[in-house]
Structure 1
Amino acid sequence: MPTVGLFNKEGQKVGDFQLSDVVFGAEINQHAMHQVVVALLANKRQGTQSTKTRAEVSGGGIKPWRQKGTGRARQGSTRSPQWIHGGIVFAPKPRDYRMSIPKSMRRVAMKSALSNKVAENNFVVLEGLELEAPKTKEIVKMLNAFSAKKTLIVTAESNENVYKSARNIQGVEILPVNNINVYDLLKYEKLIITKEAVSKIEEVYA
């Protein structure tokens, strides 16, 4: 079983914390993580882009000049793609970019991303993260204690005080545990997570 340090928000070690070997000591599957990230980013695309082809732009119904004898290139319409105000060649149209990923692959990718954080020593477990009021200075102090810059902070539940304290810090994201995904785990260098959130992850993925 992987064992990591248990810290308070001041950065002081208060004990050791054992992690589930199934979730945090799993074999790292790069392919699964890549597939899930590609699908997640594709599913975020709106797919509402649209431009007009030569058949859809207005005008151009008449031949601009006669076929021969003018010395100019032959033209059939002023709405051909080479003309100003002409149509677009292979114009993009609304489409659905959604990709479907098997649930088993999503689970493998999540375990791989978490195990990767533990293996690289970028996994910090907090004894608790409670703030009486929004205080950005408190979060900055905690991040400095762990030498954390690009950081994902994960709490067991939505915590408004913690969210308001961290939202204006560049390179820091705050999420409740039920909103974490593989993309965010890979995007941020360090993961700071409460022990209650770890327990919830183990309940789902162990």
Structure 2
Amino acid sequence: MPKVALYNISGQQIGDIELNDNVFGIEVNQHVLYEAVKNQLANKRQGTQSAKTRAEVRGGGRKPWRQKGTGRARAGSIRQPNWVGGGVVFAPKPRDYSYSIPKKVKRLAMKSALSSKVQENEIVVLDELKMEQPKTKDMVNILKNFDVKRKALIVMQEKDENILKSVNNIPGVETALVNTLNVYDILKYDMFIITKDAARKVEEVYA
């Protein structure tokens, strides 16, 4: 079982915690991670892009000039694609980009993402994370205790308004609950900060 340090919010190590080998200690499958991230980004796409074909552009009903004798290239409509204001060839239309991947692939991707954070020493496990009142300055100081200089994801077991409000104004820092955790967010952020209770919940779900 992978053993990582257990910290308090002051940045002091108060012990170690053993994480489940089946969740945080598997061999990272890069291809599965790629498939999971691609699927998630595709499902986020709105698919609202649209342009008009020559059949949908207003005007162009009359032939602009006669076929022969003018010295100009023949033209059948002022709305043909090679004219300014004309229609678009193979114009994009609204479509649904979403698709599904097997549940086993999703689970393997999640466990691979979590294991990659352990292997790259980008995980911080906190004994608990509580604040008496929402205060951005206090949260900034907590993050400084763990030398967080770039993007960080804070994972909690239950929703805590004080934590959420304290994080809202910090660039590059986001929060997530165990039931909203996803592969893309885990890989997107440089530091993965999780409470002990949340880690046990993740193990319960994915072990």
TM-score range, shorter chain: over 0.9
Question: How many residues get paired?
Answer: 206
Moved over 6 A (4+): none
Q: Does 1:188 align with 2:156?
A: no
1:41-85 per-residue CA deviation (whole Å, 9 max, x = no partner) reads 000011121111001111101100011111111100001011222
TM-score computed with the length of structure 1 as normaliser: 0.98
1:1-206 superposed matches below 5 A: 1-148=1-148, 149-206=150-207
Aligned partners of 2:165 and 2:16: how far apart in 1?
29
Runs of 5+ unmatched residues, structure 2: none
CA displacement at 1:27 relative to structure 2: 1.0
The superposition leaves residues 132-178 of structure 1 with CA deviations (integer Å, 9 ceiling, x where unpaired) of 11111111111111111211110111111101101111111111111
Q: Deviation per CA, 1:102-142, whole angstroms, max 9, x where unpaired?
A: 00000000000000000111111001111111111111111
Distance 1:122 1:85 in 2: 53
Query: Which 10-residue stretch deviates more, 164-173 or 105-114?
Result: 164-173
Could you tell me which amino acid in structure 2 is paired with residue 97 of structure 1? Y
Paired with 1:93 and 1:57, the residues of 2 have a C-alpha distance of 14
Moved more, 37-46 or 78-87: 78-87
**Runs (5+) with no aligned partner, structure 1:** none
Supply the RMSD in Å over aligned alpha carbons: 0.8
CA distance in 2, matches of 1:24, 1:101: 22
d(CA) in 1 for partners of 2:156, 2:191: 14
Distance 2:141 2:178 in 1: 22
Aligned identity (percent) is 62
- Find the aligned partners of 1:66 and 1:84 in 2 and give their Cα distance: 20
